[in-house]
Amino acid sequence: MSDMSNFNKIYSRLRDYCEQQDKQIREDPVPFLNKAYDEMNKLRELLEKIDYALSPDYVYDCSIELNLSQPDINTEAYTRCSKAQDLLDEYRSSK
What's the pLDDT tens digit per position in 11-41?
Answer: 999 999 999 999 999 999 999 999 999 999 9
Number of domains forming the structure of the chain: 1
User: Does the pLDDT at position 67 exceed 80?
Assistant: no
| Stretch 6-11: mean pLDDT | 91
What are the DSSP calls for 21-68, one per residue? HHHHHHH--HHHHHHHHHHHHHHHHHHHHHHHHHSHHHHHHHHHHTT-
Residue 79, number of CB atoms within 10 A of its CB: 16
**Residue 21 contacts residue 33 (beta carbons within 8 Å):** no
pLDDT for 1: 59
| Stretch 41-59: mean pLDDT | 88
What's the pLDDT tens digit per position in 74-91?
Answer: 778 888 888 889 999 988
